[in-house]
Each structure stands twice: as C-alpha cells, then as structure tokens.
C-alpha cells in the first residue's frame, strides 16, 4: 500500500518563529498533538509535538520561546509513492509526506491503526478464501480438540455442514481422525491412510505450534482415488523423463535448453565437457547475463529468441574452446516461444585444421613465389668461404644456430645477410620447419601489417572471404627472416615487440589471439643503434632483437674470397647461358684491387654482365668498366694484411693464396712453377699441403 493512499491531507502547519504558547493553542483548537514546522518556502524543517511541550514544562522553558529552539529537526520523511512497508517502523510516531519539496500530508499512529485493522480484515478474508478454495480437505482443532476449521472440500467429501460441526469435539463427529493423538504426541504423521464416513483418505496430520506450545492440530486429506490416478500419471511422467534424460545425456553434442525468456533450464554432460564449465554456472540464469559476464562470446539462445527463428553462430567460451552452436526456438499453440534448444558442437580442432590448411596454402604460395625468383642453378644458395675471418664467423653462426635466441645480422648491402640467416635456420633444430623471408622495406607500409600478421574476412575492402594467414603463421615451427628491419614503420615496431614478448599475434580485424612458435632472425644494413638515438627505432625493440648480434664484414675486408667468388660465378653463368667464357689473370688482379662497395652482389652482377656482353671467349681488361681499370692503375702488387697473426700462419696463408691464384690463371703445373719461380714438384707438394685442387676452387658454396 502506498503512503499517499493513507495519509491525512488537511494539515495544520507551524512556523519556526511561533512560540510554544501559540503552538499549544493551535493543538487545543484543532484537537491535535503535533504538527510539521515549515519555512517561508513551505518546505518542512521540523516537527513539534506535545512531547516537546511536556519537555519545556519540566525544564522550565519560557512558553514564549520560539518553536525552532525545541522542534525536532532530524526528521524522517516519506513520499506519496513509497510503500508503507518500506518506510515505517515502530519508532516513527508521525511521518510527514513530501512531494516536489512541499509537504502534502501526514501519517499518524491513528492512520496506521486504521490501515492495520483494514489489513487484518483483508488477510482474514483472504485466508478464509484460500482455505475454502483448496481442493484438499482441511480440518483443524484447538488444544481441546474442538473443530476450528472445516473447509468446503471437507463439507463436500464428508457430507457435513461446517457450521454444524464447528466448535464440537472432533471425537464426537469423526472418532477416527486421530487429531487428539497428534496434540498429545506432537508428532507429524504424513501419508496416513484413514477411514472417515466409510471413505478412505490419505491424511497428513501435524501439530499446530505457537510460541513453542502445541495449540491444536491440523489434517489435510485427499481422496485416495485421485491419488491413484496421480500415481499412474506420475509413473508415466517419470518414465518419460528417464527416457528424455537418456536421450539428452547420450548426445555427443552439447545441449543447452532455456525457457522462452532465456532462463537456463538444463545442460547435458557433453556441454560441460566441451566447454569445461560447471552446469551450476549457467542453471537458472538468463543467457543475456551470461553473455555480458563473458562466459560465452555470444548467446545463440538470445539471438533465437530475439529473431524467432533458427540461428547458427560460432561461439567462443572462457576456456578458449570454439563451438558451432544452433539455437532452435520451440513455439506453443499460441505462437509464443516456451523453449529454446541449443545444439553445441566443438570445432576447436576443426579450426586448428583450418588454420593449418591456411598455413599450408600460404606456404605453398610463398614457396611458389620463391621458386619463380630462384636462379636456374642451385649453386647460388651456398656460401663462398675462404678467408679466416669468414670461417671464424661461420663457426660462430653454426654454434648459435643450435639455440633458439633471436639473432640480429648487421652488414652492408650485398654482403650475404640472407645466406647467413638461411645457414642459421638450416643448422638449427627448426630446419624441418619453414624458412620465411620478408623484406620489410619492399612491402608497402599499408600492406605490411596484414602481410606479417594476416587478416580476417571483412578486415578491409578487398579482403578475401576466407581470410589469410600472415608470415608469422606461415613460419610457425620454423624461422622468420625479417630483412631490412630498420625500415619497419614505427607503429608496427610496437606490435612486433608484443609478438616477441607474448609469442602471440592478432590478425587484422580479428579478436582471437593466436599462439606462434617462430624464431626471429633480423637483418639491417643501417646503424640501428644510431637510429635508436635519433628516436627512429624503438629502443626496447632494438634490445629484444639484438640478443645475439652477428656482424658480416664487407668484401673489401676479406679479399681472400674474391678469387673463389670469381671462379664460382664464372662457372654459374657459363652453365646458365651455355657458354665457355674464361677470365684473364689481369682481370682477377683488377678485381683484387677494387674496393667493391656493392660487395658480393656487385661481383655477381658484374660477372654476369661480362659473360653476357663479352664477344670473346677470354674476358680481358679491355672488357672491364672504366672504374675497374682505374682501380688497377692505382694499385701495386702487395700483400694485404687484415689482422695480426703469427708469422708462420701469415706465410702459410700467403702461400695458399698465391697457389689459388696460380690455379685460376694457368692450365699446367709447369706454367704455375715458372710464374712462381719454384720447381713444379714444389707446386704439387704445396698444393697437396693446403688441399688445393681445381675442384676445390670451383667451390660448392655461394654467398
């Protein structure tokens, strides 16, 4: 009941400046014992009652004292729309009712007494109505076994008028009721068979207890014939439920059942197994609340109720499982949804297979692209290593290949950084996995993110319907070579750092994080440390990449490799173009004198050009570009020392280089001996000592 329905609206109001004497006169005039005090804006600021008058008398306060000095200012107020049960308690004698900051009424104890009396009458009538509307017989007696309640069902079934038996002893009317025994024993007797007026009933008899004392007993009786009918129906329903339980629990797919409002009614064991979630987390809860809490990414039951049709979606659960869910609404005869049956199938493994397929398809496309750009002969995928410096470097590379740390390769353009990266992969435990090469400077910035991390359908205009795996996914289980890492845009540097830290990626347009197992090998021909100082490269990413640095020397610092490179590339391009060109010793000397700013790549390109454009079979100085001839004129035959080493080792190194050059330039041992001014036998002995032969100089390795 609302306060506005019971409040007294005709109020007598007091002002704070009125005296106690004036308030008493108003109380006597209007026959009241209290009134609210309001200010000049007609807003209530306190209450003044006869209690305040009594207090002023006992304390000897002058009756001319203003009310504001004695009134109660800390008052509790109500509003017309408040429920009486919410605001009233025994300690509130008066309750002012306020609406829009104006006092509109007052509730007094008299109002409450009137309301409670009416409430009592209503409850009593309602109680009688309920008792008489009950299908079962209800008979109760007081502590002296006198009949107090005898409802209409009892009148009908026993053929006795309630007024004629009310107040009489139960033993006089129904001696077999046993209600007096219940009063004596205080025990409950459920489901007892009893004979009344030659009719058998099932009776539930209980004592009536108040304040710990038995004040009577009550019996609820039911005709046995009805119970037997219910028993048969119950047995049928029980069998039907057992059959339904067996069907639901034997389903391989998860089953999730709600009512028409989305309240969860049932889930089977398969659903719990698939999603790793206890059924208690769902039972009795609304699917909308479950979705908001993140237990499931999207509720198919909610969509089925909203769209009033069968809905199939992909769901993701808190444990990471991906399911294919179909919600089917079930309609009653009036066209209202009263059940939604959701069928859930685990497709996590299917998604993994799909991801692997995408990876395989992407690898196929990548390898096809790589094959199209490969040289005609496989000799170019080897490293030419003759100088001690390069041999030491390769020993280091082979050792670090065995660990899984990130490697940063630095070196000038054309020195063979890609070949070093491939050597690391081929000699690592990941050599059975893919080796993916990405030139960060060759891919347009607006495409680089989707190429590295892949994308989902709809991520951008033109995206493939099935999405696409990025290079990180393609390289899973193997190595990813990020060449020219210094050209990586600043915003992608942040994302690459996160991948290195978490070993997870997010496709463009995707929400699900994907685990990746990739070893990163990065390379740059730029000074990354200087770029860090200039704020052009993230410092944290630099240190993440520079775990194991490898510095590749330029060709000018390892000229011992030049003769072998020349022989290698001459053979390569002779085979490729089906020619038999040779190179003169003077050309090799010119090559040795040149600084090669383009490094090994410049050697390769120059040899190919000379083989193709030189009309004669022997390439001479006349066929060289002018800048190479100038280098030769400015050079004098001398021994180049690139590092301090023992004299014996230096002599042996020089002997070996001279013999290598002699094998390149001359056809016979006699010619070599003549040029070196030693015996032919010495040439053979020294060549055997250093393991030099024409086949050795034709080398099985490239850059």
- Structure-block tokens of residue 439: 């030139």
Arithmetic mean of pLDDT, 173-189: 86
Residue 283 shares a structural domain with residue 294: yes
Query: Mean of the per-residue pLDDT values for the chain?
Result: 82
Residue 403 covered by a domain: yes
The rounded Cα 290 to chain-centroid distance in angstroms is: 16
Asked whether residue 339 falls in the same domain as residue 361, the answer is no
Residue 632 has what pLDDT? 54
The highest-confidence range among 126-130, 478-482, 489-493, by mean pLDDT, is 478-482
Residue-range definition of the domain harbouring residue 89: 3-115
Report phi then psi at 92, rounded to 5: -95, 115
Q: Give the model confidence (pLDDT) of 30-70 as tens digits.
A: 888 888 998 888 888 888 888 888 888 888 888 888 988 88
Q: Is 443 helix (H, G, I), strand (E, B) or coil?
A: coil
Are both 542 and 582 inside the same structural domain? Answer: no
Q: How far is CA 48 from CA 58, 76, 103, in A?
A: 16, 13, 15
Question: Is the pLDDT at 459 greater than 90, yes or no?
Answer: no
Of the three residues 553, 576, 591, the one that is the final residue of a domain is 553
Backbone torsions φ then ψ of 533, nearest 5 degrees: -65, -30
Quote the CA–CA distance of 417 and 134 in Å, as a whole number: 93
- Say if CB 384 and CB 701 are below 8 A apart: yes
Does one domain contain both 259 and 295? yes
Could you tell me if 549 and 573 lie in one domain?
no
Give residue 703's pLDDT. Answer: 35
Q: Are residues 560 and 580 in the same domain?
A: yes
pLDDT tens string 378-434: 333 456 777 788 888 888 888 888 888 899 999 888 888 888 999 899 889 998 999
Q: Is the pLDDT of residue 199 over 50?
A: yes
317 DSSP assignment? B
97 and 106 Cβ atoms separated by less than 8 Å? yes
Are 608 and 539 in a shared domain? no
> Taking residues 566-588, what's their average pLDDT?
90
The fraction of the chain above a pLDDT of 90, given in percent, is 14
Structural domain contains residue 246: no
Q: Tell me, what's the pLDDT at 385?
A: 76
Q: How many folded domains does the chain comprise?
A: 5
**3-state DSSP call for residue 466?**
coil
Q: State residue 381's pLDDT score.
A: 43
Q: What is the mean pLDDT of residues 332-348?
A: 86
Number of helices followed by number of strands (H, E) in the chain: 28, 23
Q: Strand, helix or coil at 510?
A: coil
Q: Identify whether the C-beta of residue 46 lies closer than 8 Å to the C-beta of residue 35.
A: no
Domain-ending residue, one of 65, 82, 115: 115
Q: Are residues 614 and 692 in the same domain?
A: yes
Q: How far is CA 42 from the centre of its chain?
A: 58
Mark whether 379 and 524 lie in a shared domain: yes
Cα separation of the two ends of the chain: 94
The residues near 680 (Cβ < 8 Å, ≥ 6 apart) are 669, 670, 672, 673
Band of the pLDDT at 450, cuts 50, 70, 90? confident
Tokens 């004036």 -> residue? 22
CA 557 to CA 414: how far, in whole Å?
A: 14
For residue 126, being part of any structural domain is answered with: no
Query: What is this structure's pTM?
Result: 0.43
The token pair at 532 is 């860090």
Look at residue 702 and tell me whether its pLDDT is greater than 90: no
Flag whether 599 is in a domain. Answer: yes
| Residue 106 near residue 116, CB atoms below 8 Å | no
In this prediction, residue 379 carries a pLDDT of: 34
**Looking at the domain assignment, is residue 244 inside a domain?**
no
CB 456, CB 510: distance < 8 Å: yes
Point out the domain boundary residue: 211, 227, 243: 227
Same domain, 439 and 573: no
**Which structure tokens are listed for 241?**
């439920």
Residue 397, domain CATH: 3.40.50.300
User: CB–CB of 82/3 below 8 Å?
Assistant: yes
Residue 666 lies in a domain: yes
539 and 585 in a single domain? The answer is no
Does 703 reside within a domain?
no
The least confident of 231-235, 542-546, 682-686 is 231-235
Let me know if residue 122 belongs to a domain.
no
342 and 363 together in one domain: no
Flag whether pLDDT at 10 surpasses 60: yes
* CATH code for position 202: 3.30.450.20
Q: pLDDT at position 672, please?
A: 84
Q: What is the mean pLDDT of residues 493-515?
A: 86
Residues 361-367, mean pLDDT to the nearest whole number: 67
């Amino acid at each position: 009941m609302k306060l506005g329905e019971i409040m007294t609206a005709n109020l007598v109001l007091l002002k704070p400046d009125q005296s106690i004497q004036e308030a008493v006169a108003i109380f006597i005039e209007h026959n009241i014992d209290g009134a609210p005090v309001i200010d000049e804006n007609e807003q209530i600021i306190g209450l003044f009652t006869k209690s305040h008058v009594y207090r002023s008398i006992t304390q000897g306060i002058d009756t001319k004292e203003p009310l504001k000095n004695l009134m109660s200012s800390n008052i509790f107020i109500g509003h017309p729309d408040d429920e009486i049960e919410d605001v009233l308690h025994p300690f509130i004698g008066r309750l002012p009712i306020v609406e829009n900051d104006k006092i509109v009424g007052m509730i007094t104890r008299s109002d409450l007494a009137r309301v409670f009396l009416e409430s009592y009458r209503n409850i009593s009538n309602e109680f009688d109505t309920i008792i008489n509307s009950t299908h079962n017989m209800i008979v109760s007696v007081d502590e002296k076994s006198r009949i107090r309640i005898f409802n209409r069902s009892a009148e009908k079934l026993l053929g006795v008028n309630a007024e004629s038996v009310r107040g009489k002893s139960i033993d006089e009317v129904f001696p077999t009721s046993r209600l007096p025994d219940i009063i004596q024993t205080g025990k409950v007797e459920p489901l007892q068979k009893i004979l009344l007026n030659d009719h058998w009933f099932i009776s539930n008899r209980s004592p009536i207890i108040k304040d710990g004392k038995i004040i009577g007993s009550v019996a609820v009786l039911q005709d046995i014939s009805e119970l037997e009918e219910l028993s048969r129906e119950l047995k049928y329903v029980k069998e039907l439920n057992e059959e339904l339980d067996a069907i639901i629990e034997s389903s391989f797919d998860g089953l999730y059942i709600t009512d028409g409002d989305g309240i969860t009614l049932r889930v089977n064991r398969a659903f719990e197994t698939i999603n790793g979630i206890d059924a208690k987390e769902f039972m009795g809860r609304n699917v909308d609340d479950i979705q908001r809490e993140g237990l499931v990414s999207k509720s198919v039951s909610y969509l089925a109720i909203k769209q009033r049709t069968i809905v199939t979606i992909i769901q993701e659960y808190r444990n990471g499982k991906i399911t294919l869910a179909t919600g089917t609404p079930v309609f009653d005869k009036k066209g209202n949804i009263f059940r939604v049956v959701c069928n859930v199938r685990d497709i996590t493994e299917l998604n993994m297979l799909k991801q692997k397929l995408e990876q395989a398809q992407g690898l196929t496309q990548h390898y096809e692209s790589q094959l199209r750009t490969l040289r005609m002969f496989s000799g170019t995928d080897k490293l030419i290593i003759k100088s001690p410096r390069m041999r030491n470097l390769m020993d280091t590379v082979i050792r670090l290949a065995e660990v899984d740390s990130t490697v940063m390769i630095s070196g000038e353009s054309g020195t063979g950084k890609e070949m070093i990266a491939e050597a690391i992969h081929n000699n690592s435990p990941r050599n059975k996995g893919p080796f993916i090469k990405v030139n960060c400077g060759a891919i347009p910035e607006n495409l680089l993110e989707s190429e590295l991390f892949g994308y989902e359908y709809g991520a951008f205009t033109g995206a493939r319907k099935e999405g696409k795996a990025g290079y990180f996914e393609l390289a899973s289980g193997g190595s990813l070579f990020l060449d020219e890492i210094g050209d990586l845009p600043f915003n992608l540097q942040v994302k690459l750092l996160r991948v290195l830290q978490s070993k997870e990626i997010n496709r463009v347009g995707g929400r699900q994080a994907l685990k990746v197992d990739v070893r990163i090998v990065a390379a740059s021909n730029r000074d990354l440390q200087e770029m860090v100082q200039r704020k052009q490269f993230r410092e944290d990413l630099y240190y993440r990449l520079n775990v194991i640095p490898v510095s590749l020397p330029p060709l000018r610092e390892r000229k011992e490799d030049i003769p072998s490179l020349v022989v290698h590339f001459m053979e390569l391009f002779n085979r490729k173009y089906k020619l038999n060109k040779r190179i003169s010793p003077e050309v090799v000397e010119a090559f040795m004198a040149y600084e090669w700013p383009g490094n090994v790549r410049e050697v390769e390109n120059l040899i190919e050009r000379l083989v193709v454009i030189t009309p004669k079979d022997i390439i001479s100085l006349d066929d060289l570009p002018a800048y190479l001839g100038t280098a030769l004129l400015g050079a004098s035959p001398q021994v180049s020392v690139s590092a301090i080493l023992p004299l014996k080792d230096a002599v042996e190194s020089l002997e070996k280089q001279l013999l290598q050059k002699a094998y390149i330039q001359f056809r016979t041992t006699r010619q070599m001996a003549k040029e070196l001014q030693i015996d032919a036998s010495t040439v053979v002995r020294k060549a055997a000592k250093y393991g030099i032969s024409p086949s050795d100089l034709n080398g099985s390795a490239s850059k």
